[in-house]
Amino acid sequence: MTPRVFGRFWNRALPLLLVTLGSASSESFAAPPTPPDGSAVLRIHGSNTVGAKLAPMLVAGLFEAKSLQSVRIAPAGKENEQRITALDERGRTVQALVAAHGTGTGFAGLKDGTADLAAASRSIKQSEAQSLSALGDMRSAESEQVIAIDGLAVIVHPDNPVQALSVEQVARLFAGKITSWRELGGADVAVELHARDDQSGTYDTFKELVLNSQGQALATSAVRYESNDALSQAVSRRSGAIGFVGLASVGKSKALAITDGDSQPMPPSQALVATEDYPLSRRLFLYADPQKQSAWTREFLSFVHSPEGQAIVEKSGYVAQAIAPIRLPLQTTMPEAYQQLAKEAQRLTVNFRFAEGSAQLDNKAQRDVQRLIDYLNSHDKQMNAAVLVGFGDARNDPARTALLSKLRAMAVRRELARGGILVKEINGLGDQLPVASNSEAGRIKNRRVEVWVY
Protein backbone atom coordinates (compact mmCIF):
# COMPACT_ATOMS: atom_id res chain seq x y z
CA MET A 1 0.00 0.00 0.00
CA THR A 2 1.52 3.33 -1.05
CA PRO A 3 1.75 6.19 1.49
CA ARG A 4 -0.90 8.18 -0.39
CA VAL A 5 -3.32 5.23 -0.49
CA PHE A 6 -2.61 4.47 3.16
CA GLY A 7 -3.26 8.10 4.07
CA ARG A 8 -6.61 8.06 2.29
CA PHE A 9 -7.51 4.79 3.99
CA TRP A 10 -6.59 6.19 7.42
CA ASN A 11 -8.51 9.43 6.83
CA ARG A 12 -11.63 7.35 6.21
CA ALA A 13 -11.04 4.68 8.83
CA LEU A 14 -10.09 6.87 11.79
CA PRO A 15 -13.44 8.71 12.12
CA LEU A 16 -15.31 5.40 11.93
CA LEU A 17 -13.02 3.97 14.62
CA LEU A 18 -13.64 6.99 16.84
CA VAL A 19 -17.40 6.73 16.35
CA THR A 20 -17.25 3.04 17.25
CA LEU A 21 -15.22 3.75 20.37
CA GLY A 22 -17.53 6.63 21.30
CA SER A 23 -20.61 4.44 20.99
CA ALA A 24 -18.98 1.70 23.02
CA SER A 25 -18.08 4.14 25.77
CA SER A 26 -21.64 5.37 26.22
CA GLU A 27 -23.20 1.92 26.18
CA SER A 28 -20.67 -0.45 27.70
CA PHE A 29 -18.76 1.42 30.38
CA ALA A 30 -20.15 1.10 33.90
CA ALA A 31 -22.32 3.77 35.42
CA PRO A 32 -20.77 6.09 38.01
CA PRO A 33 -21.28 5.03 41.65
CA THR A 34 -24.75 5.05 43.18
CA PRO A 35 -24.91 7.45 46.17
CA PRO A 36 -25.28 5.39 49.38
CA ASP A 37 -27.86 7.83 50.75
CA GLY A 38 -30.12 7.48 47.69
CA SER A 39 -29.78 11.15 46.75
CA ALA A 40 -30.35 12.27 43.15
CA VAL A 41 -27.38 11.67 40.85
CA LEU A 42 -28.58 14.49 38.57
CA ARG A 43 -30.61 17.58 39.43
CA ILE A 44 -31.69 19.58 36.39
CA HIS A 45 -33.58 22.82 37.03
CA GLY A 46 -34.81 25.46 34.63
CA SER A 47 -36.52 25.74 31.27
CA ASN A 48 -39.94 24.20 30.80
CA THR A 49 -39.11 23.83 27.11
CA VAL A 50 -36.17 21.58 27.96
CA GLY A 51 -37.49 20.06 31.16
CA ALA A 52 -41.04 19.09 30.24
CA LYS A 53 -40.01 16.25 27.93
CA LEU A 54 -36.49 16.42 26.52
CA ALA A 55 -34.42 16.38 29.72
CA PRO A 56 -36.30 13.44 31.30
CA MET A 57 -35.97 11.46 28.06
CA LEU A 58 -32.24 12.18 27.91
CA VAL A 59 -31.73 11.10 31.52
CA ALA A 60 -33.70 7.91 30.87
CA GLY A 61 -31.57 7.32 27.76
CA LEU A 62 -28.37 7.67 29.79
CA PHE A 63 -29.66 5.23 32.42
CA GLU A 64 -30.46 2.69 29.71
CA ALA A 65 -27.08 3.21 28.02
CA LYS A 66 -25.44 2.44 31.37
CA SER A 67 -27.39 -0.84 31.56
CA LEU A 68 -29.52 0.25 34.52
CA GLN A 69 -32.78 -1.64 34.85
CA SER A 70 -36.46 -0.69 35.28
CA VAL A 71 -35.97 2.86 34.00
CA ARG A 72 -39.05 4.94 34.74
CA ILE A 73 -40.18 8.57 34.36
CA ALA A 74 -42.88 9.70 36.79
CA PRO A 75 -44.27 12.90 38.34
CA ALA A 76 -42.25 14.04 41.35
CA GLY A 77 -45.18 15.35 43.36
CA LYS A 78 -45.04 18.99 42.23
CA GLU A 79 -46.37 20.47 39.00
CA ASN A 80 -43.75 20.50 36.20
CA GLU A 81 -41.35 18.28 38.17
CA GLN A 82 -40.40 14.72 37.19
CA ARG A 83 -38.33 11.99 38.76
CA ILE A 84 -36.41 9.46 36.67
CA THR A 85 -35.60 6.24 38.50
CA ALA A 86 -33.75 3.01 37.72
CA LEU A 87 -32.06 0.10 39.49
CA ASP A 88 -28.33 -0.59 39.45
CA GLU A 89 -26.72 -4.05 39.31
CA ARG A 90 -27.19 -4.45 43.09
CA GLY A 91 -30.86 -3.49 43.00
CA ARG A 92 -30.32 -0.04 44.51
CA THR A 93 -32.39 2.89 43.28
CA VAL A 94 -30.68 5.47 41.08
CA GLN A 95 -32.69 8.65 40.65
CA ALA A 96 -32.58 12.04 38.95
CA LEU A 97 -34.86 15.05 39.35
CA VAL A 98 -35.98 17.49 36.64
CA ALA A 99 -37.74 20.67 37.81
CA ALA A 100 -39.07 22.70 34.87
CA HIS A 101 -40.18 26.06 36.27
CA GLY A 102 -38.49 28.41 33.80
CA THR A 103 -34.96 29.23 32.65
CA GLY A 104 -34.27 31.74 35.42
CA THR A 105 -34.86 29.13 38.11
CA GLY A 106 -32.07 26.98 36.68
CA PHE A 107 -29.40 29.61 37.19
CA ALA A 108 -30.76 30.25 40.68
CA GLY A 109 -30.38 26.51 41.35
CA LEU A 110 -26.75 26.53 40.22
CA LYS A 111 -26.06 29.46 42.50
CA ASP A 112 -27.61 27.98 45.65
CA GLY A 113 -26.32 24.46 44.96
CA THR A 114 -29.70 22.79 44.49
CA ALA A 115 -29.04 22.04 40.80
CA ASP A 116 -26.22 20.30 38.94
CA LEU A 117 -27.34 21.62 35.57
CA ALA A 118 -29.36 24.65 34.48
CA ALA A 119 -31.63 24.01 31.52
CA ALA A 120 -32.14 27.13 29.43
CA SER A 121 -34.06 28.08 26.31
CA ARG A 122 -31.94 31.21 25.84
CA SER A 123 -28.32 32.10 26.43
CA ILE A 124 -27.29 33.21 29.87
CA LYS A 125 -27.78 36.92 30.61
CA GLN A 126 -24.85 39.11 31.58
CA SER A 127 -26.37 39.67 35.04
CA GLU A 128 -26.77 35.91 35.55
CA ALA A 129 -23.20 35.20 34.43
CA GLN A 130 -21.91 37.84 36.86
CA SER A 131 -24.03 36.38 39.66
CA LEU A 132 -22.41 32.99 39.02
CA SER A 133 -18.87 34.31 38.47
CA ALA A 134 -17.64 32.49 41.58
CA LEU A 135 -18.13 29.25 39.64
CA GLY A 136 -16.05 30.45 36.70
CA ASP A 137 -16.79 31.56 33.15
CA MET A 138 -20.39 30.54 32.47
CA ARG A 139 -19.97 31.35 28.77
CA SER A 140 -17.03 28.99 28.32
CA ALA A 141 -17.35 25.79 26.30
CA GLU A 142 -16.97 23.82 29.55
CA SER A 143 -20.12 25.44 30.94
CA GLU A 144 -22.36 26.37 28.01
CA GLN A 145 -23.60 23.34 26.08
CA VAL A 146 -25.96 23.67 23.12
CA ILE A 147 -27.99 20.46 23.18
CA ALA A 148 -30.65 21.05 20.51
CA ILE A 149 -32.21 23.64 18.21
CA ASP A 150 -35.80 24.75 18.65
CA GLY A 151 -38.10 26.89 16.59
CA LEU A 152 -40.24 29.39 18.43
CA ALA A 153 -43.50 28.80 16.58
CA VAL A 154 -46.16 31.50 16.32
CA ILE A 155 -49.41 29.55 16.43
CA VAL A 156 -53.04 30.26 15.62
CA HIS A 157 -56.29 28.30 15.42
CA PRO A 158 -56.05 25.68 12.63
CA ASP A 159 -58.90 27.34 10.68
CA ASN A 160 -57.30 30.80 10.68
CA PRO A 161 -56.69 31.70 6.98
CA VAL A 162 -53.59 33.81 7.70
CA GLN A 163 -50.48 31.93 6.53
CA ALA A 164 -47.54 34.25 7.22
CA LEU A 165 -46.66 37.27 9.33
CA SER A 166 -43.66 39.56 9.62
CA VAL A 167 -41.87 39.94 12.93
CA GLU A 168 -43.22 43.50 13.02
CA GLN A 169 -46.82 42.26 12.62
CA VAL A 170 -46.33 39.65 15.34
CA ALA A 171 -44.99 42.33 17.68
CA ARG A 172 -47.93 44.65 16.99
CA LEU A 173 -50.37 41.80 17.55
CA PHE A 174 -48.92 40.92 20.95
CA ALA A 175 -48.69 44.58 21.91
CA GLY A 176 -52.42 44.92 21.34
CA LYS A 177 -51.95 47.30 18.38
CA ILE A 178 -53.74 44.93 15.98
CA THR A 179 -57.04 43.86 17.51
CA SER A 180 -58.85 42.10 14.65
CA TRP A 181 -57.67 39.42 12.24
CA ARG A 182 -59.45 41.34 9.49
CA GLU A 183 -56.56 43.85 9.53
CA LEU A 184 -54.27 41.03 8.36
CA GLY A 185 -56.53 39.54 5.71
CA GLY A 186 -58.29 37.13 8.04
CA ALA A 187 -61.83 36.89 9.38
CA ASP A 188 -63.51 39.67 11.33
CA VAL A 189 -62.61 38.02 14.63
CA ALA A 190 -61.06 39.65 17.68
CA VAL A 191 -57.43 38.76 18.41
CA GLU A 192 -56.87 36.84 21.68
CA LEU A 193 -53.34 36.84 23.08
CA HIS A 194 -51.75 33.84 24.81
CA ALA A 195 -48.19 34.07 26.16
CA ARG A 196 -45.74 32.22 28.41
CA ASP A 197 -45.08 33.60 31.90
CA ASP A 198 -42.20 35.82 32.98
CA GLN A 199 -40.13 32.90 34.37
CA SER A 200 -40.05 31.27 30.95
CA GLY A 201 -37.03 31.28 28.67
CA THR A 202 -39.53 30.93 25.84
CA TYR A 203 -40.99 34.30 26.80
CA ASP A 204 -37.52 35.83 27.22
CA THR A 205 -36.65 34.71 23.69
CA PHE A 206 -39.94 36.01 22.29
CA LYS A 207 -39.47 39.31 24.08
CA GLU A 208 -35.93 39.70 22.72
CA LEU A 209 -36.55 38.52 19.13
CA VAL A 210 -40.00 40.02 18.62
CA LEU A 211 -41.15 42.61 21.14
CA ASN A 212 -37.93 44.42 22.04
CA SER A 213 -36.67 44.40 18.45
CA GLN A 214 -39.79 46.29 17.41
CA GLY A 215 -40.01 48.59 20.42
CA GLN A 216 -43.17 46.93 21.72
CA ALA A 217 -44.32 45.51 25.06
CA LEU A 218 -46.67 42.63 25.77
CA ALA A 219 -50.29 43.73 26.22
CA THR A 220 -51.65 43.26 29.74
CA SER A 221 -54.65 41.43 28.26
CA ALA A 222 -52.50 38.40 27.35
CA VAL A 223 -53.32 35.17 29.18
CA ARG A 224 -50.11 33.76 30.68
CA TYR A 225 -49.03 30.11 31.00
CA GLU A 226 -46.23 28.19 32.74
CA SER A 227 -46.51 25.34 30.21
CA ASN A 228 -46.04 25.34 26.42
CA ASP A 229 -48.50 22.49 25.96
CA ALA A 230 -51.25 24.16 27.97
CA LEU A 231 -50.85 27.33 25.89
CA SER A 232 -51.01 25.40 22.60
CA GLN A 233 -54.12 23.52 23.66
CA ALA A 234 -55.86 26.80 24.50
CA VAL A 235 -54.95 28.36 21.13
CA SER A 236 -56.20 25.33 19.19
CA ARG A 237 -59.65 25.77 20.76
CA ARG A 238 -60.10 29.54 20.24
CA SER A 239 -60.78 30.91 16.73
CA GLY A 240 -59.16 34.30 17.37
CA ALA A 241 -56.24 33.07 19.44
CA ILE A 242 -52.55 33.59 18.76
CA GLY A 243 -49.65 32.36 20.89
CA PHE A 244 -46.03 31.28 20.79
CA VAL A 245 -44.51 27.97 21.87
CA GLY A 246 -41.49 25.76 21.32
CA LEU A 247 -41.47 23.74 18.11
CA ALA A 248 -42.35 20.50 19.89
CA SER A 249 -45.53 22.00 21.36
CA VAL A 250 -47.39 23.15 18.22
CA GLY A 251 -49.85 20.30 18.70
CA LYS A 252 -53.22 20.84 16.97
CA SER A 253 -52.59 24.54 16.39
CA LYS A 254 -51.26 25.95 13.10
CA ALA A 255 -47.73 27.38 12.89
CA LEU A 256 -47.30 30.48 10.72
CA ALA A 257 -44.43 31.31 8.35
CA ILE A 258 -42.38 34.28 9.56
CA THR A 259 -40.40 36.99 7.76
CA ASP A 260 -37.75 39.26 9.27
CA GLY A 261 -36.57 42.31 7.37
CA ASP A 262 -35.88 41.35 3.77
CA SER A 263 -35.97 37.59 4.35
CA GLN A 264 -38.39 35.28 2.57
CA PRO A 265 -41.36 33.85 4.57
CA MET A 266 -40.00 30.86 6.45
CA PRO A 267 -42.03 28.17 8.20
CA PRO A 268 -40.48 26.54 11.28
CA SER A 269 -39.35 23.52 9.22
CA GLN A 270 -36.69 21.08 10.38
CA ALA A 271 -34.12 22.26 7.82
CA LEU A 272 -34.64 26.00 8.38
CA VAL A 273 -34.52 25.56 12.13
CA ALA A 274 -31.43 23.31 11.97
CA THR A 275 -29.49 25.99 10.10
CA GLU A 276 -30.95 28.67 12.41
CA ASP A 277 -32.09 30.63 9.35
CA TYR A 278 -35.71 30.59 10.52
CA PRO A 279 -36.19 34.02 12.15
CA LEU A 280 -37.45 32.64 15.45
CA SER A 281 -35.07 29.71 15.78
CA ARG A 282 -33.24 29.38 19.07
CA ARG A 283 -30.75 27.19 20.84
CA LEU A 284 -31.54 25.02 23.83
CA PHE A 285 -28.81 24.88 26.46
CA LEU A 286 -27.52 23.11 29.49
CA TYR A 287 -25.21 25.12 31.75
CA ALA A 288 -22.87 23.40 34.18
CA ASP A 289 -20.38 24.52 36.77
CA PRO A 290 -17.36 25.05 34.48
CA GLN A 291 -14.85 23.82 37.08
CA LYS A 292 -16.62 21.31 39.29
CA GLN A 293 -18.80 18.63 37.71
CA SER A 294 -19.78 15.28 39.19
CA ALA A 295 -19.06 12.05 37.32
CA TRP A 296 -22.78 11.72 36.56
CA THR A 297 -22.91 15.28 35.18
CA ARG A 298 -19.93 14.63 32.89
CA GLU A 299 -21.40 11.33 31.70
CA PHE A 300 -24.76 12.99 31.03
CA LEU A 301 -23.29 15.85 28.98
CA SER A 302 -21.20 13.40 26.96
CA PHE A 303 -24.29 11.29 26.28
CA VAL A 304 -26.36 14.31 25.21
CA HIS A 305 -23.83 15.14 22.47
CA SER A 306 -23.49 11.52 21.31
CA PRO A 307 -25.44 10.13 18.32
CA GLU A 308 -27.67 8.27 20.80
CA GLY A 309 -28.42 11.45 22.70
CA GLN A 310 -29.12 13.47 19.57
CA ALA A 311 -31.47 10.73 18.36
CA ILE A 312 -33.48 11.33 21.54
CA VAL A 313 -33.47 15.07 20.78
CA GLU A 314 -35.07 14.32 17.42
CA LYS A 315 -37.53 11.84 18.91
CA SER A 316 -38.68 14.45 21.43
CA GLY A 317 -39.72 16.82 18.64
CA TYR A 318 -36.75 19.18 18.57
CA VAL A 319 -34.08 19.50 15.90
CA ALA A 320 -30.97 17.43 16.49
CA GLN A 321 -27.51 18.72 15.73
CA ALA A 322 -27.14 16.17 12.98
CA ILE A 323 -25.91 17.08 9.51
CA ALA A 324 -27.90 16.21 6.40
CA PRO A 325 -27.95 17.44 2.77
CA ILE A 326 -30.87 19.45 1.38
CA ARG A 327 -31.70 20.77 -2.08
CA LEU A 328 -32.55 24.46 -2.23
CA PRO A 329 -35.12 25.59 -4.82
CA LEU A 330 -33.78 28.20 -7.21
CA GLN A 331 -34.96 31.76 -6.59
CA THR A 332 -34.51 34.87 -8.69
CA THR A 333 -33.24 36.76 -5.64
CA MET A 334 -30.17 34.51 -5.43
CA PRO A 335 -26.85 35.93 -6.68
CA GLU A 336 -25.63 34.24 -9.88
CA ALA A 337 -22.82 32.32 -8.16
CA TYR A 338 -25.23 31.12 -5.49
CA GLN A 339 -27.76 30.00 -8.11
CA GLN A 340 -25.06 27.95 -9.81
CA LEU A 341 -24.18 26.36 -6.49
CA ALA A 342 -27.84 25.53 -5.82
CA LYS A 343 -28.09 23.86 -9.25
CA GLU A 344 -25.08 21.61 -8.81
CA ALA A 345 -24.58 21.07 -5.07
CA GLN A 346 -26.49 20.38 -1.88
CA ARG A 347 -26.51 22.54 1.21
CA LEU A 348 -25.79 20.92 4.56
CA THR A 349 -27.99 21.59 7.59
CA VAL A 350 -25.28 23.34 9.56
CA ASN A 351 -24.29 26.99 9.75
CA PHE A 352 -21.23 28.31 11.51
CA ARG A 353 -21.70 31.41 13.62
CA PHE A 354 -19.31 33.43 15.71
CA ALA A 355 -19.00 34.72 19.25
CA GLU A 356 -20.47 38.19 19.57
CA GLY A 357 -17.94 40.85 18.63
CA SER A 358 -15.33 38.22 17.80
CA ALA A 359 -13.85 36.28 14.89
CA GLN A 360 -13.84 33.16 17.08
CA LEU A 361 -16.33 30.38 16.41
CA ASP A 362 -19.01 30.25 19.08
CA ASN A 363 -19.43 27.25 21.39
CA LYS A 364 -21.89 25.46 19.12
CA ALA A 365 -19.74 26.04 16.05
CA GLN A 366 -16.69 24.60 17.80
CA ARG A 367 -18.55 21.31 18.30
CA ASP A 368 -20.05 21.51 14.80
CA VAL A 369 -16.56 21.51 13.29
CA GLN A 370 -16.03 17.95 14.48
CA ARG A 371 -19.55 16.96 13.43
CA LEU A 372 -18.85 18.26 9.93
CA ILE A 373 -15.48 16.51 9.76
CA ASP A 374 -17.15 13.24 10.75
CA TYR A 375 -19.89 13.74 8.15
CA LEU A 376 -17.50 14.55 5.30
CA ASN A 377 -15.24 11.60 6.15
CA SER A 378 -18.13 9.15 6.40
CA HIS A 379 -19.46 10.29 2.99
CA ASP A 380 -16.04 10.28 1.28
CA LYS A 381 -16.16 14.05 0.78
CA GLN A 382 -13.04 15.04 2.67
CA MET A 383 -11.13 16.15 -0.44
CA ASN A 384 -12.32 19.02 -2.66
CA ALA A 385 -16.04 18.35 -2.23
CA ALA A 386 -17.10 21.08 0.22
CA VAL A 387 -17.75 24.75 -0.50
CA LEU A 388 -17.90 27.38 2.25
CA VAL A 389 -20.02 30.49 1.69
CA GLY A 390 -19.61 33.38 4.11
CA PHE A 391 -22.15 36.12 4.77
CA GLY A 392 -22.17 39.38 6.68
CA ASP A 393 -24.46 42.20 7.69
CA ALA A 394 -25.27 45.58 6.19
CA ARG A 395 -23.58 47.55 8.95
CA ASN A 396 -20.37 48.24 7.03
CA ASP A 397 -19.76 49.39 3.45
CA PRO A 398 -20.36 46.61 0.87
CA ALA A 399 -16.68 46.05 0.06
CA ARG A 400 -15.72 45.65 3.71
CA THR A 401 -18.71 43.40 4.37
CA ALA A 402 -17.76 41.17 1.43
CA LEU A 403 -14.19 40.93 2.75
CA LEU A 404 -15.33 40.09 6.28
CA SER A 405 -17.72 37.44 4.98
CA LYS A 406 -14.87 35.75 3.12
CA LEU A 407 -12.63 35.94 6.18
CA ARG A 408 -15.31 34.10 8.15
CA ALA A 409 -15.33 31.34 5.55
CA MET A 410 -11.53 31.21 5.75
CA ALA A 411 -11.73 30.80 9.54
CA VAL A 412 -13.95 27.74 9.12
CA ARG A 413 -11.67 26.36 6.39
CA ARG A 414 -8.72 26.65 8.77
CA GLU A 415 -10.52 24.62 11.46
CA LEU A 416 -11.54 21.95 8.94
CA ALA A 417 -7.98 21.70 7.63
CA ARG A 418 -6.81 20.79 11.13
CA GLY A 419 -9.12 17.78 10.86
CA GLY A 420 -7.75 16.73 7.47
CA ILE A 421 -10.49 18.28 5.31
CA LEU A 422 -9.49 20.01 2.07
CA VAL A 423 -12.19 22.49 1.02
CA LYS A 424 -12.91 22.90 -2.70
CA GLU A 425 -13.52 26.67 -2.59
CA ILE A 426 -14.65 29.54 -0.40
CA ASN A 427 -16.86 32.50 -1.28
CA GLY A 428 -17.86 35.70 0.47
CA LEU A 429 -21.26 37.12 -0.49
CA GLY A 430 -21.30 40.04 1.91
CA ASP A 431 -24.72 41.20 3.05
CA GLN A 432 -26.64 39.37 0.31
CA LEU A 433 -29.38 36.86 1.19
CA PRO A 434 -30.05 38.05 4.75
CA VAL A 435 -31.92 35.69 7.05
CA ALA A 436 -32.73 38.39 9.60
CA SER A 437 -33.18 42.12 9.95
CA ASN A 438 -30.31 44.55 10.51
CA SER A 439 -30.98 44.80 14.25
CA GLU A 440 -28.21 43.84 16.68
CA ALA A 441 -29.61 40.32 17.13
CA GLY A 442 -30.29 40.05 13.39
CA ARG A 443 -26.74 41.01 12.47
CA ILE A 444 -25.40 38.17 14.60
CA LYS A 445 -27.59 35.71 12.66
CA ASN A 446 -26.61 37.20 9.29
CA ARG A 447 -22.88 36.73 10.06
CA ARG A 448 -22.66 33.09 9.12
CA VAL A 449 -20.90 30.49 7.00
CA GLU A 450 -22.91 27.96 5.01
CA VAL A 451 -21.57 24.57 3.90
CA TRP A 452 -22.34 23.04 0.51
CA VAL A 453 -21.17 19.72 -0.95
CA TYR A 454 -20.87 18.33 -4.46
Per-residue pLDDT of the chain (454 residues; tens, 9 = 90+): 554 444 444 444 444 444 444 444 444 468 999 998 889 999 999 999 899 999 999 999 999 999 999 999 999 989 999 999 999 999 999 999 999 999 999 999 999 999 999 999 999 999 999 999 999 999 999 999 999 998 899 999 999 999 999 999 999 999 999 999 999 999 999 999 999 999 888 998 899 889 998 999 999 999 999 999 999 999 999 999 999 998 889 999 999 999 998 888 999 988 899 999 999 998 999 999 999 999 999 999 999 999 999 999 999 988 999 999 999 989 888 999 999 999 999 999 999 998 876 778 999 999 999 999 999 999 999 999 999 999 998 877 889 999 999 999 999 999 999 999 999 999 999 999 999 888 777 888 899 999 999 9
Helix (H) or strand (E) holding 144: strand 144-156
Would you identify the CATH topology of the domain 150-270?
D-Maltodextrin-Binding Protein; domain 2 (3.40.190)
What does the pLDDT read at residue 6? 41
The secondary structure of the chain in percent helix, strand, coil, rounded to multiples of 5, reads 40, 25, 35
What does the pLDDT read at residue 25? 43
Q: Tell me if 59 sits within 8 A of 117, measured CB to CB.
A: no
For the domain 323-453, what is the CATH superfamily, name and number? Answer: OmpA-like domain (3.30.1330.60)
In DSSP terms, 13 is beta-bridged to none
- Given CATH 3.40.50.720, say whether it is the number of domain 28-147+283-315: no
Q: Do domains 150-270 and 323-453 have the same CATH topology?
A: no
Q: What is the pTM of this model?
A: 0.80
What does the pLDDT read at residue 333? 86
pLDDT per position as a tens digit, 133-179: 999 999 999 999 999 998 899 999 999 999 999 999 999 999 999 99
CB within 8 Å of 294: residues ≥ 6 apart? 32, 41, 116
In DSSP terms, 149 is beta-bridged to 283, 319
Q: Tell me if 225 sits within 8 A of 195, measured CB to CB.
A: yes
Return the domain boundaries, the chain.
28-147+283-315, 150-270, 323-453
- Sort strands 325-326 and 346-352 into parallel, antiparallel or unpaired: antiparallel
**CA separation for the pair 310, 303 (Å, rounded):** 9
Alpha helices for 44-188 (secondary structure H): 48-51, 54-65, 103-112, 126-131, 167-174
